[in-house]
Amino acid sequence: MKLKAKQSEADFQKQIIELAKYRGWRVATFRKVRVQRKNGSVYYETPVGADGVGWPDLFLVRGKRVIAAELKVGNNKATVEQMQWLESLAATGVECHVWRPSWWNVIEDVLA
């Protein structure tokens, strides 16, 4: 699979999902929704409840393996809440990753 030189996080996520599904993984992700303020301005957010802020971009399951992956492109860095979720999940035995497009070979190995 050939990656684009510059890509959005959404494109990167789509490529990982395609690879994961091809290799037999079940994948869960949550989409952002369009929200319009009373003044007419628009923004996008992922609706979550309770402690959901920072939940990983992808949650993958195959057999007895569970992976949580936070995806980052460009100079973006994981937020404190994202890292707290990854640390909490890792403490239970979930494989946790922060993936970037430049690490495609590693991603392929993890999902093999």
* Sequence-separated (6 or more) residues with CB below 8 Å from residue 85: 54, 55, 56, 68
Predicted confidence at residue 52, as pLDDT, reads 67
Predicted confidence at residue 108, as pLDDT, reads 97
pLDDT in tens, 43-54: 777 667 666 678
Alpha-carbon torsion, ordered 26, 105, 75, 7, to 10 deg: -70
| CATH architecture assigned to 9-111 | 3-Layer(aba) Sandwich (3.40)
For the chain, helix (H) and strand (E) counts, in that order, are 3, 6
pTM of structure: 0.80
Predicted confidence at residue 79, as pLDDT, reads 92
pLDDT in tens, 57-112: 999 999 999 999 999 999 999 999 999 999 999 999 999 999 999 999 999 999 99
Give the domain ranges of the chain.
9-111
